[in-house]
Amino acid sequence: MDLRRGHRVEVTSEGSGRPTAFHWRGRWVTVSQVLDEWEEAGCWWLGEEPRTVHRVLATSGAAYELHHRRSAGWQLHRVFD
């Protein structure tokens, strides 16, 4: 289910860049596990830069997909329940 496509979020991460928590809807969501991560090229023909995608599991049991681009920062792309 896509709840917040492209919603900017503040993220704390470890040295490797993997997210450990993010701020969404007025609260911090703690990441308990990074389920998967991959690189996407983006729409290069539109001038988009590559992005790193992290699918994470929160301590609440919900799963989220976070995207990171150097110039745009972090975005919450999907919420899975």
- Per-residue pLDDT at 2: 45
Mean pLDDT computed over every residue of the chain: 90
Average pLDDT over residues 48-75: 94
Alpha-carbon span 39 to 16, nearest angstrom? 14
Least confident of 5-9, 54-58, 69-73: 5-9
More confident residue, 53 or 16: 53
Q: Which residue has the higher pLDDT, 19 or 1?
A: 19
Please give the Cα distance from 26 to 24 (Å, whole number).
5
Q: What are the structural domain ranges in the chain?
A: 7-80
